[in-house]
Amino acid sequence: MSATSDPMNADRPNTGSQVPAANPTVQQNPAAQSQKPGWVEHQAQRLTNLMHSVRLRLSLWFGLVLAVIMLLFSGFVYYRQAQDVRDTAITRLLYRQRDLYSAMMAAGREAGENRWPYYSSEFTFELDEHEVLLISDSQGELSGVWGEINETQAEEIALQVEALPIDHDKVRAVSVQVNNGPAYLFLPTPIYYENRLLGWMVLGQPTDPQNQLPRLSFTLALGGAFTLLIALAGGFWLADRALWPVKAITRTAREIGETDLSQRLNIHTRDELGELAGTFDNMLNRLEAAFNRQRQFTADASHELRTPLTIIGLETSRALKSARSSEEYRRVLNVVQSENEFMTRLVGELLMLARMDAGQVKLKREPFDLSDLALEVIERYAPLAADKGVRLEAGDLPELPIQGDRQYLSQMIGNLVDNAIKYSASGGARVIVETTQVQNSVACLRVIDNGPGIPAEHLPHLFDRFYRVDSARSHNPDESAGEQAIPGSGLGLSIVQWIARMHGGSVVVESEVGKGTTFTVLLA
């Protein structure tokens, strides 16, 4: 099958080699300029195909889901880390504040009881770098500020602290961005004297002195973006790999011509796509078999018709060559008549098989007695049997009511009786037709002859169309006009089998060379 140059076929591996620009001689040719838009269109088409591809959609969905998961995860990690940083800052502040508070109280005691504020001009807080300390009275009025903070902001913080509810079980802290810079955590401690709130000592330190949170956000963002990128690329690759059977199916379907159904996918993976490919292959098997059957049927039919036509042609041209005796003309006319009969019968059978294949045959089911019908057929064929010297007898024919198409069943029995007479015609030949009831619902009809029998190797093919045990004998121009001719198309038993099957039944053949043949039809 030659490769197609269809630009729509973006998935075909060989399309790359068809790009005209790859050929240097084409590039030199001015006419090649007209190829350029074709290439551009081809690439645009590939892009459009990719945009609409399941692979891309799958990987985008996958990426989106992963992005949401990673966002939630990063948010959770960041939140936990921020809490840890804040807790550490509070612990640090608590220790530091206890020291400063003790130092302040000690200084106050030294300076004398009931002195407020405790820090006098002779007392100084020894603060670390970046530490901020505020002392305010119980009204939130600022009394002193230490550290790098402007007055206004210090006042705001003092007021915020004053507004905080006093809860001895909980640590209350205020988070403020100092001087538009880093975030500070301010921890207030109430200053009591004889159970009286004198004011507040508020210590502030940078919440995250080691910049852990910005570094964490950077790591999460970078890691997230990187992971997402890898996941998208990996997802696309995986989707591409997982969907390659679909591509193979598409390609094969494209490559299957009207007359060549031999292509197969041969994808034997155990997943859903493997199952799809298997179903596709099975469908192709059935199509190919049906197609071959049809081709064979047509070839056989034309072959069968050509033989009698050739015979008629030969006989008539031989007779017309010179003047013949009236006996000779009679012989030729007999041949023509016999071949005409053969062709009429063949065309009738072909027509019937064609209608059967097309599903155009509708059975007219009616109740009747199968034994009655068998007797009718025997009577119809009695003259022929007598003519051939065959004893056609009715065997056991008990009453056997069945439901079926009388006309088709009559033809079925007729074909079997006709064959039995035809193939066993000789002195002492005997054909018996009998019926029996097997079980309650199965009617059985037998056509028994004591003819030459059929060799075992032919039995499996007997019901095939155009199959004849001795095809040479069935059509001999010299014999066809004589007594020995056994014209047969090889279609009779196919029709018998079809009629039996249409009635939910089957036909079996038993035969022994030299002893005879029995055809048994079972009807449900």
| Residues that bind ligand ADP in the complex, under the rule CB under 6 A | 419-420, 423-424, 449, 451, 454, 462, 467-470, 474, 488-493, 517
Contact 465, 300 (CB under 8 A): yes
Residue facing ligand ADP at closest CB distance: 488
Least distance from C-beta 432 to ligand ADP, angstroms? 12
User: By C-beta, is 146 or 342 nearer to ligand ADP?
Assistant: 342
Least distance from C-beta 324 to ligand ADP, angstroms? 32
User: By C-beta, is 199 or 490 nearer to ligand ADP?
Assistant: 490
Distance CA 465, CA 458 (A): 13
Q: Which two tokens stand for residue 33?
A: 């300029």
Distance CA 298, CA 58 (A): 49
Q: Which residues pair with 510 in a beta bridge?
A: 518
Least distance from C-beta 396 to ligand ADP, angstroms? 20
Residue 454's CB is within 10 A of a number of other CB atoms, namely 19
User: By C-beta, is 480 or 517 nearer to ligand ADP?
Assistant: 517
User: By C-beta, is 265 or 462 nearer to ligand ADP?
Assistant: 462
Distance CA 116, CA 200 (A): 12
Least distance from C-beta 522 to ligand ADP, angstroms? 18
User: By C-beta, is 455 or 482 nearer to ligand ADP?
Assistant: 455
User: By C-beta, is 97 or 415 nearer to ligand ADP?
Assistant: 415
Q: Which residues pair with 201 in a beta bridge?
A: 135, 189
**For every residue of 382-440, which 3-state class applies, written as one string?**
HHHHHHHCEEEEECCCCCCEEEECHHHHHHHHHHHHHHHHHHHCCCCEEEEEEEEEECC
Amino acid in the structure at residue 77:
V
Contact 203, 102 (CB under 8 A): no
Distance CA 38, CA 31 (A): 12
User: By C-beta, is 202 or 485 nearer to ligand ADP?
Assistant: 485
Q: Which residues pair with 366 in a beta bridge?
A: 404
Least distance from C-beta 482 to ligand ADP, angstroms? 18
Least distance from C-beta 493 to ligand ADP, angstroms? 3
User: By C-beta, is 153 or 494 nearer to ligand ADP?
Assistant: 494
Least distance from C-beta 508 to ligand ADP, angstroms? 13
Q: Which residues pair with 369 in a beta bridge?
A: 401
Q: Which position has the token pair 């880093």?
A: 182
Least distance from C-beta 390 to ligand ADP, angstroms? 11
Q: Which position has the token pair 């509810």?
A: 165
Cis peptide leading into residue 165 (ω within 30°) = no
Contact 398, 435 (CB under 8 A): yes
